[in-house]
């Protein structure tokens, strides 16, 4: 299997749009990397540059150590799957899967037949080779599209929103299935999605894209827990974000004045007093205090920081939502802020209208650039 490297890749379309503004990444052999970001941020253009459907305006693309920047798609040895499956409607499933191998001209009929059977087993659809595409469900057609891409044993698999047109349940099943197949054959994979949940659950690493650039590249846990920017924090998962100014830095902790509340956060990125910053707190990092009254000594009416390095907010639950294994609470603090808190299901009986206090430890508050 093979790695993929992009160095300084830029793409300006003929109309003048600079869709990709210089991206660098080394994708290891066998790695599953997801390009995730909002619509129009340049994900598909980056993927198409790897596939060879677009030539970069600047920079280079290497696959398996060979420069392919200007090589046409058929010389790159990649398999691609699109959102709309793109199966050939007039061909049987067998013919669809065999297509790439037939086009190569390097295989005997016996080899092709054996490989098609192997691929049908891999995607767990044995015996459908004689059917036409419209005799399969959407999810089954997408598995066949995957089998077709994998049949010629490409060096890398490139997936452009392949699950986007499936309903939620099927989509979740296919996420697991796709990952199983990818790991089983150990193929280097680049996956494009604007669905942050999908990116977080499937990937070895994510590249979060914004306006033609990679904002952050890293394993899902790291990008989620340790976002480099306000954009990444906001785009991936739910984030409580407090904008403010650093009023002091002491013993490795920054005190951030956010107007209605002073938040203590582990000092990062060399912040110093006077810097504008944003404090990111993930909803599951808040804890309910036993009762609002018990915190009267440490919290101001609008929330405050106690000596133990936690910040406490008091307010009222306005909304409660069951998410299955967890429960999401929306709080309005006494200073009028909206806070989202997530706790494990069954852990407490609080509900709308209840007065509560929630606390967050300084080490669970992440500073990012404002
Ligand atoms: P989406 O999630 O909506 O598919 P994306 O992140 O994949 O978006 P791209 O399709 O790569 O984004 O598009 C990036 C930018 O380049 C957009 O502003 C888009 O309008 C522009 N663009 C894409 N294709 C072309 C083209 N062929 N000619 C001119 N501009 C283009």
For ligand 1, atom 21: residue with the closest CA: 19
Asked if residues 351 and 320 have their Cβ atoms less than 8 Å apart, the reply is yes
**Which residues approach ligand 1 with their CB closer than 6 A?**
13, 15, 17, 19, 37, 39-45, 194
Token pair 């996420």 in the structure block, residue:
175
Instruction: Pick from 11, 13, 21, 190 the residue to mutate for probing ligand 1's pocket: most ligand atoms within 8 Å of its CB.
Output: 13
Q: Tokens for 353?
A: 């209208």
Q: What is the pLDDT of residue 348?
A: 67
For ligand 1, atom 27: residue with the closest CA: 13
Closest atom of ligand 1 to CA, residue 42: 11
Segment 288-333, tens digit of pLDDT:
987 544 433 333 434 455 444 889 999 999 999 998 889 999 999 9
Ligand 1 centroid, distance to 213 Cα (angstroms): 13
SS (H, E, C) 157-180: EEEECCCCCCCHHHHHHHHHHHHH
Ligand 1 centroid, distance to 18 Cα (angstroms): 9
Q: What is the pLDDT of residue 295?
A: 39
Q: Under CATH, what is the fold of the domain 4-231? A: Rossmann fold (3.40.50)
List the beta bridge partners of residue 321. 328
Ligand 1 centroid, distance to 45 Cα (angstroms): 6
For ligand 1, atom 25: residue with the closest CA: 13
The CATH number of the structural domain formed by 240-369 is 2.40.50.100
Ligand 1 centroid, distance to 178 Cα (angstroms): 25
SS (H, E, C) 8-32: EEEEECCCCCEEEEEEEEEECCCCE
For ligand 1, atom 22: residue with the closest CA: 19
- DSSP string for 261-286: -EEEEE--TT--TT-EEEEEE-GGG-
Closest atom of ligand 1 to CA, residue 212: 14
Question: What's the CA gap between 359 and 286, in Å, rounded?
Answer: 6
CA 90 to chain centre: 36
Question: What's the CA gap between 240 and 321, in Å, rounded?
Answer: 17
| CA-wise closest residue to 351 among 316, 312, 314, 301 | 316
Token pair 């706790």 in the structure block, residue:
343
Residue 333 belongs to what H/E stretch? Answer: strand 326-333
Ligand 1 centroid, distance to 33 Cα (angstroms): 20
Q: Is the pTM for the entire model greater than 0.75?
A: yes
For ligand 1, atom 26: residue with the closest CA: 13
* Regions of the chain with pLDDT less than 70: 1, 291-308, 347-348
Closest atom of ligand 1 to CA, residue 194: 2
For ligand 1, atom 28: residue with the closest CA: 13
Q: What is the pLDDT of residue 323?
A: 86
Give the number of other Cβ atoms within 10 Å of residue 61's Cβ.
23
Segment 61-97, tens digit of pLDDT:
999 999 999 999 989 999 999 887 789 999 999 999 9
Instruction: Pick from 45, 51, 158, 192 the residue to mutate for probing ligand 1's pocket: most ligand atoms within 8 Å of its CB.
Output: 45
Domain ranges of the chain: 4-231, 240-369
How large is the angle between the packed helices 138-150 and 168-185, nearest 10 degrees? 20
Asked if residues 19 and 41 have their Cβ atoms less than 8 Å apart, the reply is no
Alpha-carbon dihedral 158, 160, 162, 167, rounded to 10 degrees: 160
Q: What is the pLDDT of residue 62?
A: 97
**Burial of 51 from C-beta contacts in 10 A (0-12 / 13-18 / 19+):** buried
Q: Tokens for 58?
A: 């600047």
């Amino acid at each position: 299997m093979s790695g993929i490297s992009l160095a300084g890749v830029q793409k300006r379309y003929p109309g003048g749009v600079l869709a990709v503004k210089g991206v660098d990444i080394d994708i290891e052999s066998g790695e599953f990397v997801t390009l995730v970001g909002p619509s129009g941020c340049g994900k598909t253009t980056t993927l198409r540059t790897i596939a060879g459907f677009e030539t970069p305006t600047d920079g280079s693309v290497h696959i398996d150590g060979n420069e392919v920047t200007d090589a046409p798609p058929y010389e790159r040895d990649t398999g691609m799957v699109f959102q709309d499956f793109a199966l050939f409607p007039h061909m049987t499933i067998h013919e669809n899967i065999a297509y790439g191998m037939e086009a190569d001209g390097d295989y005997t009929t016996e080899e092709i037949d054996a490989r098609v059977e192997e691929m049908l087993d891999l995607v767990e659809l044995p015996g459908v080779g004689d059917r036409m595409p419209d005799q399969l469900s959407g999810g089954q057609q997408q598995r066949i599209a995957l089998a077709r891409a994998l049949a010629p044993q490409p060096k890398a698999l490139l997936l452009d929103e392949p699950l986007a047109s499936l309903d939620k349940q099927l989509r979740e099943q296919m996420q697991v299935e796709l990952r199983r197949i990818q790991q089983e054959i150990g193929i280097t994979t680049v996956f494009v999605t604007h669905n942050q949940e999908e990116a977080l659950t499937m990937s070895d690493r994510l590249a979060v894209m914004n306006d033609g650039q990679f904002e952050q590249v890293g394993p899902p846990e790291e990008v989620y827990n340790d976002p480099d920017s306000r954009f990444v924090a906001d785009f991936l998962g739910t984030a409580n974000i407090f904008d403010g100014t650093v009023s002091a830095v002491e013993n490795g902790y920054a005190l951030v004045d956010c107007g209605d509340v002073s938040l203590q956060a582990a000092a990062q990125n060399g912040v110093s007093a006077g810097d504008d910053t944003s404090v990111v707190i993930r909803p599951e990092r808040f804890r309910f205090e036993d009762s609002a009254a018990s915190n009267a000594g440490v919290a101001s009416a609008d929330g405050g920081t106690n000596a133990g390095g936690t910040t406490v907010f008091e307010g009222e639950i306005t909304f409660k939502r069951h998410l299955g294994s967890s429960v999401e609470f929306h709080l309005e603090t006494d200073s009028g802020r909206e806070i989202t808190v997530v706790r494990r299901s069954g852990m407490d009986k609080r509900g709308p209208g209840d007065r509560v206090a929630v606390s967050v430890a300084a080490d669970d508050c992440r500073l990012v650039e404002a």
